[in-house]
Structure 1
Amino acid sequence: MGVKGWAILKFLMFQSLFVSQSQEDFDFFYLVVQWPGAYCDTKRSCCYPTSGKPDADFGIHGLWPNYKDGSYPSNCDPDSQFDRSQIEDLLSGMKKNWPTLSCPSNEGFNFWEHEWEKHGTCSESVMDQHDYFKNTLKLKDKANLLQILTNSGINPDDGFYDLNKITKAIKDGIGFTPGLQCNKDPERNSQLYQIYLCVDTSGSEFIECPVLPRGRCPSKLQFAKF
């Protein structure tokens, strides 16, 4: 084989390795939930879904495959398009637990399509589209984060709470350390915005996070009303 042939072979081997890793290999999932009061209490505002105002509860943002170095695969299979018929039996749970808050008001299918095509397609080695959404709903119910926080006296009442107290309450409740993300409202108050919980590669069990998401919250943060 000539030099040109070896170069082509090496390129094809590299491509094969890259595609295999990007589509199949990942180390864990982030289950990401967001507080609707913090989402809406920003300058970008929000719109309720066509089914009405969601419950005052954490809503799912997504289930995201990640690597231990902090990077993540995305859009792994352009041919695996979102098919709403695959989640017909999950729709009531999706509308309740995975509501869209983007404008203009809509049913949520665009949000779910984005999450499947960007993140879900990178987990197809372990679950298909239906299982991706079903398992995510189960994980949200299993965590029951709002109940964990309110049981510790941390309520969505516009009050300010210690970051360490929030983290400890969640760790005591599920057994593992969460990652917290904050945003700022128009008055520049730091608010509890998103919670990251780490999940094993089967998409079913919580684990200790190999790496926590970037971003820091202050020692006191607001838990906004919704």
Structure 2
Amino acid sequence: MSYSSVFVKLLTLQCLVILCVSQSFDFFYFVQQWPGSICDTKRSCCYPKAGKPAANFSIHGLWPNYNNRSWPSFCNRESLFDHSKLSDLSRMQTTWPSLICPSGNNSKFWKHEWDKHGTCSEFVLDQHQYFEETLNIKDRVDLLQILQNEGIQPDGRNYSIGSIEEALRRGIGFAPGIKCNKDASGNGQLHEIYLCVEKTGSKLIECPVLPRRNCAQHVEFPAF
């Protein structure tokens, strides 16, 4: 075997090792967002061309993460997003809408989620599986109903962050991570809820680490 052949093989092996390392991760964050908190900001929002989404938590994404709070991203720029592979997942339009301006058909949002996060889980989930498993988790976890069962409503009132966390922990069986943003007047409001999922994307788990909370003791749950 020539020196050049050995060099090429070693280089190929090195590239494969680098790719695997870049795509390894410890768990997923499954993130849902409250549309009223996206729209009730100085930045405001735009509804997708399909119309105003339902007044319910919607999917932000399924994000590979490490146990040290860091995460991989954009792991394979050669793995192009293909909308046609999702033709049987029509419920994405209602459960995974984009509220970013200008309005669109949601595809740009999904492409971003695949490019940045999905490609880092590609060695366990292909593109269709990545989106389907995310939708399946959403189907099993009705955050709004869980909160409403505990008297926490999207009615513009303030609720203690502790009561929100405890209601979700009781309803789901696992402690959630919570992120807040600010409304147009600068008041804190419930924005995103993080749950953790094991690496195959199918089972909720207790979070190895929770995202750092950026919420005050009491936050608004705005109407939508």
Same fold (TM over 0.5): yes
TM-score normalised to structure 1 length: 0.91
Residue 71 of structure 1 corresponds to 70
1:210 positional shift: 0.7
Greater Cα shift, 207-216 or 107-116: 207-216
Say what the alpha-carbon RMSD is for the aligned residues.
1.7
- In the aligned structure 2, how far is the partner of 1:204 from the partner of 1:197? 12
Residues 17-32 of structure 1 aligned to structure 2 (within 5 Å) = 17-23=17-23, 25-32=24-31
Distance 1:15 1:71 in 2: 22
Match for 2:78: what amino acid? D
Among 162, 177, 183, the alignment partner of 2:160 is: 162
Q: TM-score, normalised by structure 2?
A: 0.92
Deviations 1:153-202 (A, max 9, x none): 00000011111110011111111000000001121110000000000001
- Give the C-alpha shift of residue 14 in structure 1: 7.0
The reply to whether residue 189 of structure 1 matches residue 149 of structure 2 is: no
Match of 1:140 in 2: 138
In the alignment, which residue of structure 2 is the partner of 1:206?
A: 204
Note the C-alpha offset of 1:47: 0.4
Shift in Å, 1:13: 7.8
The alignment-based identity, stated in percent, is 55
Tell me, what secondary structure is at the counterpart of 2:88? helix
User: 1:11 deviation in Å?
Assistant: 9.3
**1:36-115 matches, cutoff 5 A:** 36-91=35-90, 93-115=91-113
| Residues matched between the structures, number | 216
Unaligned 5+ residue runs, structure 2? 1-9
Q: Is the 8 A contact 2:177 2:213 kept in 1?
A: no
1: CA distance, partners of 2:16 / 2:121: 18
Unpaired segments of 5 or more residues in structure 1? 1-9
What stretches of structure 1 move > 4 A for 4+ residues in a row? 10-17
3-state DSSP class of the match of 2:89?
helix
**Alpha-carbon shift at residue 70 of structure 1 (Å):** 0.6
CA distance in 1, matches of 2:85, 2:15: 31
Match of 1:5 in 2: none
Structure 2: how far apart are the matches of 1:19 and 1:28? 18
> Counterparts of 2:69 and 2:198 in 1: how far apart (Å)?
15
1:130 equivalent in alignment to 2:128: yes
C-alpha offsets along residues 50-87 of structure 1, whole Å, 9 cap, x if unaligned? 00000000010000000001110111111111000100
